[in-house]
Structure 1
Amino acid sequence: MERKLEEIASEALQMSIESRAALAKRLLDSLDDLNPDEYEQLWVEEAARRYQQLKAGTATSTPSEQVFARLDARSRG
């Protein structure tokens, strides 16, 4: 990842989850001009990057049960 992109990502990760979700939506919306093959290739590359981070121990994962439980708790207010 280029240095500037790493800095932006680092700053974004300090944002609240709501702000990160809004930013993610804006970024994803900006990809609407891609054809389906380009879009799929970007997701394949992202999945590979995340997998490498998990293998290297530079990232952690959260079981889906925990993620959905948190979302459920938030939706209940």
Structure 2
Amino acid sequence: MTETAERLKLELSQLSVKDRAELAYFLIHSLDEEVDYDVESAWDIELTRRMQEINEGTASGKPFKQVFTELREKYS
């Protein structure tokens, strides 16, 4: 890793969690050089279907705290 990147890592580690999350999101998405429109379309269809289920009251869900607890237990 370059000296500049090492310096940035040190500086960026001092930022708030929110700022680091926004930067991480930006950096991850900056790696996508091309858009797969078939995948984007498929996600749009899936998200529309899920939103419709939520609005109709036919979707089942879990509280986010329960989901994250289960994920931590599974992957820790």
With normalisation by structure 2, the TM-score equals 0.47
Bigger Rg over Cα: 2
Q: TM-score, normalised by structure 1?
A: 0.46
